[in-house]
Structure 1
Amino acid sequence: MNSGNSSGWNIVRLDDIPATPWRNGGGVTRELAMWPDAGDWAWRMSVADVDKSGPFSKFEGIDRWFAVLEGAGVQLDVAGVPHRVTSAEAPLFFDGAAETGCELVDGKTRDFNLMVRRGSGASRMVRVEGRFSETLDAMKTIAIYAYKSRATVLFDEEVLRLEPATLAWRTVTGSAAVRVAAQGALWMEISA
């Protein structure tokens, strides 16, 4: 994984990560970040290009967040419950072990996945369309993925600027104020 470090931030550009084809031929995944390591991760962030409809892989013991970044969206069937997910809607949270089918709404999509091993802490993912702020007061891993526009992140007094298709993540050990400005980004938190 190619990543840079800027004042505590780990920076990963999508274009620097090789695509791994799916076994079923339905798309490719780029694994942007895994912690603590690729072999035994507590959390994983990735971008998938979905070329055709089909089942999702099962991940036992994993909580999963899913957000459409580009394309018309998908119709997911998670354990028999339908969910329509588009780039305008909130990310979907579901059990990674659930039987999940994916139907493309109108052509290919690009999607973001956050997977968190159960017991590794609570997590959340929200879209940033404009401005977002959060005050942190406990140990957490935070991440911002800029996808549609540049993103500006103010972490206390430190300014970080992200180009589209770039992930920034870091672990916060104390209190901090974070503000994000973007017209297309994802904010993620994982409790430590």
Structure 2
Amino acid sequence: MTWRTIHLADVPATPWRNGGGLTRELAAWPAEGAWRWRMSVAEVTASGPFSRFEGITRWFAVLKGDGVTLTVRTPSDSGDAGACEHRLTAADPALCFDGGATTHCALLGGTTQDFNLMVQGDCLPARMVRVQGDLTVLAGATKTIAIYAVDSGARVQFNTEDLFVPAGTLVWRSLTKAATVHISGSHVLWMELAG
């Protein structure tokens, strides 16, 4: 499979039901029916609750803006809910949390743009890594890999192939054999998931 390319500017925005923001779905697989993974960019315009996604593991990374505080409340075995607060800015690593947890988002300032990766259990293990400089990865076979260039382009070497990813662009592909990937850029997200 070759690279699939999606430009953020080409994707229409869907308003949230609670009026607190907009989401642009960049990619989901499979394209028809229930997805096993989904990648999107959201504009958070007001503090409020996140939608719950039962059975989903979720990664959240701030791209632009002042950032947010996420309060994630996960029920424990005793039935009591334990809450964890996470202050996230564009300089912080991506946060991984239970998509089925009750989650409240509080803006630290104005509108914040963020990237979301949501993954069903059969596509785990998965990860999202913020790249500010260089990253070299040996990606295993039967993986899906993706790169999102935020506000500057990214240079990617995939084995012997060279690729430039413009700002505001997602590229992704499925691997049938292991590959060495080198990413260079000032603000990039690297994602890797099973299947």
TM-score calculated relative to the size of structure 1: 0.95
User: Which amino acid in structure 1 is aligned with residue 42 of structure 2?
Assistant: A
CA deviation after TM superposition for structure 1 residue 54, in Å: 0.2
Match of 1:17 in 2: 11
1:39 deviates by 2.7
Q: 2:179 aligns with which of 176, 181, 185?
A: 176
- Deviation of 1:137 after TM superposition, in Å, equals 2.8
Q: Which residue of 1 aligns with 2:167?
A: 164
Separation in 2, partners of 1:128, 1:38 = 31
> Please, which of 61, 80, 98 is the counterpart of residue 67 of structure 1?
61
Aligned-pair RMSD on alpha carbons?
Answer: 0.9
Q: Which runs of 5+ in 1 are unaligned?
A: 1-6
Partners of 1:20 and 1:137 in 2: CA distance: 34
Q: Among 107, 120, 123, which residue is 1:117 paired with?
A: 120
Q: What SS does the aligned partner of 1:119 have?
A: helix
* Displacement after TM superposition at 1:38 (Å): 4.7
Unmatched 5+ stretches in structure 2: 74-82
Aligned equivalents of 1:38 and 1:71: distance in 2?
33
Structure 1 runs (4+) greater than 4 angstroms displaced: none
Instruction: Return the alpha-carbon distance in structure 2 between the equivalents of residues 159 and 186 of structure 1.
Output: 18
State the match for 2:90 in structure 1. 87
1:142, CA displacement in angstroms?
0.2
The alignment status of 1:97 with 2:96, answered yes or no, reads no
- Note if 1:28 corresponds to 2:22: yes
Q: Which of 145, 149, 162 matches 1:146?
A: 149
Deviation at 1:173, TM superposition (A): 1.1
For 2:49, the equivalent position in structure 1 comes to 55
Residue 132, structure 1, aligned to residue 135, structure 2: yes
TM-superposed CA distance for 1:51, in Å, is 0.3
- The answer to whether 1:39 aligns with 2:42 is no
SS of residue matched to 1:41: coil
Which shows bigger deviation, 79-88 or 34-43?
34-43
> How far off is 1:103 after superposition?
0.2
Residue 120 of structure 1, CA deviation? 2.3
- Distance across 2 between alignment mates of 1:136 and 1:167: 18
Matched residues, percent identical? 54
CA contact (8 A) 2:122 2:194 kept: no
Whole-angstrom CA distance in 2 between matches of 1:75 and 1:121: 26
Query: How far does the alpha carbon of each residue in 1:7-58 deviate from its partner, in whole angstroms, 9 at most, with x for none?
Result: 7000000000000001111110000000012531000000000000000000
TM-score, normalization by structure 2? 0.93
* Count of paired positions: 186
Q: Give the corresponding residue for 2:77.
A: none
Is residue 189 from structure 1 mapped to residue 185 from structure 2 by the alignment?
no
| Whole-Å separation in 2 of the counterparts to 1:167 and 1:137 | 20
